[in-house]
Chains A and B, each alone.
Chain A
């Protein structure tokens, strides 16, 4: 039986997929991208909470045992629904040892050696260094409270065109105003221009070996409205497979493929990190905001602006101090989370302690405009482990879109709790000062911990026992299969991860090109940025020899 063949098959169209697909296509390879979600464009992005609108079409929410993952489910992946904060990871992160007693990152990677790759991303995705005039009321409030408590606060670099942004805070439903610099406006159109094909609603299930050194990739067609329904499927063979389905999905595809591909490295589906994520909700006393912080809006209100803005605009980085012990370092970022998940997990004090439902909680919701959500990114312990894969995809889908049950098990260790407790205390100290606000953490009792930053479930490293990929992102024991998404990041980053995922994907390309050439594919490394810029390419030229085996 003959199947469709291509040079390179890319699974998933988020950061890890779009970046590698662009470079390989621009270098001359025939590239096909399979994406399980729909292909939405600007006018599809709605301001609507109704199930079935872009808010649920583009989104994936997988509940696990002790950890739930939120992610993108559309062409462009997480970049379409994300908040576009794009900081680089602090230097100490690359030296972390975690639970394995040795440096978790490959020796080849440090902040210094990654900086040229970060630069390549910064040349390709337009990132704005926001000024105070770009900072939303919520970000300003967080900054003022930090300042009042003797802390620093930084406007966060963001992939947002602040000129066209309307501060609607509908980022999670996709940007209707083309202000967010998602992959739909840079790497993906450039990949298409070089002949790459994107096939939406194609969910990859497994990989097997085929003849002539090809890999066979099996996929299902997903119904465009009811993702619980599949309508047939198919097979493509490729010489190179790039897995970039995200850290909640890539290891599941590999686990399911173990029967056909042979044994997987031990670290496939292990060492998952939620990036140490945790949220606190502060409910502000509007009078105190005016009296203590001296803030007032043009219309006379002090704050009451939870609804207004563009996700995170200000972060506190005082605890990103490499001289502090591991598990005590974290960043605190102001964030917006829409109703739905952003409300049920918030807690309020009643007679019995903290609760997430009931009359007091309803009272708390009345003050919703005076809420400020603070996002903690701490150092967790890579304690997540995926159980045996579900029948298809990475979850048993419950709702027609968005909600599913996955197999990730995550029991936070004492180290992880140490970071969370310290971060909770720090937020309380800053925000409860002088009666400014009442702060409570989101509960972990309902859906466990939760993350929008899944990482490390198929990670790079130098030690084969604790890493699934070598430092060139090739799957150990399975040459020609590469993983370039968040699952390759070795551990929590204490800041938002997309910039680092993207830089690692950029860095992985020369090695993938070399592997492709060794398989007879006529492809070269060296494409400029998607808009033609060449500064980044010059910046990495000296590093290329270290990334190819020869």
Chain B
């Protein structure tokens, strides 16, 4: 249950989740999930662990998360005012998915003064989903990590290493360039 007066930490987390969900969206975790907009079936960046990864100090962004969330909500308030909306609560979360997308597009566009910061945040949201960078990869796959699983990444051998015994069509599929030298290089 959401507490009626969310504390700062919760606001921060919900805001970051909403950002991650804008990058790679997923389905709502519960009917009253406000952070996840629910525009895409299956788990997205949030379910993949974006906030866990962001909170890990190895990323170098963990200490800035409070500020990122605060700033994102400031941008969201300004955006809402521009659109004639009046948000209640943490502003970014109250925006619709299309509005969140529009705002993130602006913040990450070439020329925006804070672009680098928002892109680094987006990069870690991606990495939570497409590589599970906060998790041991083999364990993450075994546990059904939503991103790695959706991408169809296969499981490794029992020793945690990947080997593909079949890897080639095994036949000539094109004519090599006529000017190839004996060393196999272009002339």
- Which residues of A line the B interface, CB within 8 A? 47-52, 63, 87-91, 118, 122, 129-130, 132-137, 140, 143-144, 146-147, 151-157, 166-170, 176, 228, 295, 297-299, 304-305, 307-309, 314, 317-318, 320, 331, 338-340, 343-344, 352, 355, 357-359, 361-363, 365-366, 368-369, 397-401, 403, 405, 445-447, 495, 499
Nearest CB on A from B51, distance (A): 15
Residue from the list B123, B126, B133, B154 in contact with A307, Cβ < 8 A:
B154
When the two chains form their complex, are residues A147 and B186 in contact, meaning their CB atoms are under 8 A apart?
Answer: no
When the two chains form their complex, are residues B160 and A157 in contact, meaning their CB atoms are under 8 A apart?
Answer: no
**A143 touching B174 in the complex, CB below 8 Å, given contacts A340-B126, A400-B57:** yes
Most buried by B among A89, A307, A352, A357: A357
Chain B residues whose CB sits within 8 angstroms of the CB of A355 once the complex forms: 105
CA gap between A403 and B56 in the complex, in Å: 14
Query: Which residues of chain B from 106 to 156 have any CB-CB distance to chain A below 8 Å in the complex?
Result: 108-110, 116, 119-120, 122-123, 126-127, 129-138, 147, 150-154, 156
When the two chains form their complex, are residues A63 and B116 in contact, meaning their CB atoms are under 8 A apart?
Answer: yes
When the two chains form their complex, are residues A297 and B101 in contact, meaning their CB atoms are under 8 A apart?
Answer: no
Residue from the list A47, A331, A398 in contact with B60, Cβ < 8 A:
A398
Selected A-B contacts with CB under 8 Å, 23 pairs: A47-B156, A48-B137, A49-B131, A50-B133, A51-B133, A87-B186, A118-B183, A129-B184, A137-B167, A147-B174, A152-B177, A155-B184, A166-B163, A228-B60, A298-B166, A308-B167, A309-B164, A339-B131, A340-B127, A340-B131, A344-B126, A358-B101, A399-B61
Please classify how large the interface on chain B is, using the bins under 10, 10 to 19, 20 to 34, 35 or more. Answer: 35 or more
Chain A residues whose CB sits within 8 angstroms of the CB of B127 once the complex forms: 49, 339-340
Chain B residues whose CB sits within 8 angstroms of the CB of A405 once the complex forms: 116
When the two chains form their complex, are residues B40 and A152 in contact, meaning their CB atoms are under 8 A apart?
Answer: no
CA gap between A299 and B25 in the complex, in Å: 33
Nearest CB on B from A525, distance (A): 24
When the two chains form their complex, are residues A362 and B25 in contact, meaning their CB atoms are under 8 A apart?
Answer: yes
When the two chains form their complex, are residues B133 and A49 in contact, meaning their CB atoms are under 8 A apart?
Answer: yes
When the two chains form their complex, are residues B186 and A88 in contact, meaning their CB atoms are under 8 A apart?
Answer: yes
Residue from the list B40, B58, B110, B178 in contact with A52, Cβ < 8 A:
B58
Nearest CB on A from B139, distance (A): 9
The answer, yes or no, to whether B30 is at the interface (CB within 8 Å) is no
Residue from the list A298, A304, A361 in contact with B152, Cβ < 8 A:
A304
Chain B residues whose CB sits within 8 angstroms of the CB of A304 once the complex forms: 152
CA gap between A143 and B169 in the complex, in Å: 11
When the two chains form their complex, are residues A157 and B184 in contact, meaning their CB atoms are under 8 A apart?
Answer: yes
When the two chains form their complex, are residues B22 and A140 in contact, meaning their CB atoms are under 8 A apart?
Answer: no
The answer, yes or no, to whether B96 is at the interface (CB within 8 Å) is no
CA gap between A295 and B151 in the complex, in Å: 22
CA gap between A499 and B184 in the complex, in Å: 13
- Which residues of B line the A interface, CB within 8 A? 22-25, 39-40, 44, 56-61, 101, 104-105, 108-110, 116, 119-120, 122-123, 126-127, 129-138, 147, 150-154, 156, 160-164, 166-181, 183-187
CA gap between A147 and B187 in the complex, in Å: 20
Chain A residues whose CB sits within 8 angstroms of the CB of B175 once the complex forms: 147, 152-153
Would you call the interface of chain A mostly helix, strand, loop, or mixed?
A: loop
CA gap between A361 and B24 in the complex, in Å: 7
Chain A residues whose CB sits within 8 angstroms of the CB of B147 once the complex forms: 365
**A132 touching B152 in the complex, CB below 8 Å, given contacts A88-B185, A154-B184, A170-B162:** no
Chain B residue at minimum C-beta to C-beta distance from A93? B186
**A88 touching B183 in the complex, CB below 8 Å, given contacts A152-B176, A153-B176:** yes
Nearest CB on B from A345, distance (A): 10
When the two chains form their complex, are residues A339 and B162 in contact, meaning their CB atoms are under 8 A apart?
Answer: no
CA gap between A234 and B154 in the complex, in Å: 47
**A143 touching B173 in the complex, CB below 8 Å, given contacts A357-B22, A361-B24:** yes
**A168 touching B164 in the complex, CB below 8 Å, given contacts A48-B137, A339-B151, A359-B40:** yes
When the two chains form their complex, are residues A146 and B168 in contact, meaning their CB atoms are under 8 A apart?
Answer: no
Chain A residues whose CB sits within 8 angstroms of the CB of B109 once the complex forms: 445
When the two chains form their complex, are residues A365 and B184 in contact, meaning their CB atoms are under 8 A apart?
Answer: no
Nearest CB on A from B18, distance (A): 13
CA gap between A52 and B134 in the complex, in Å: 9
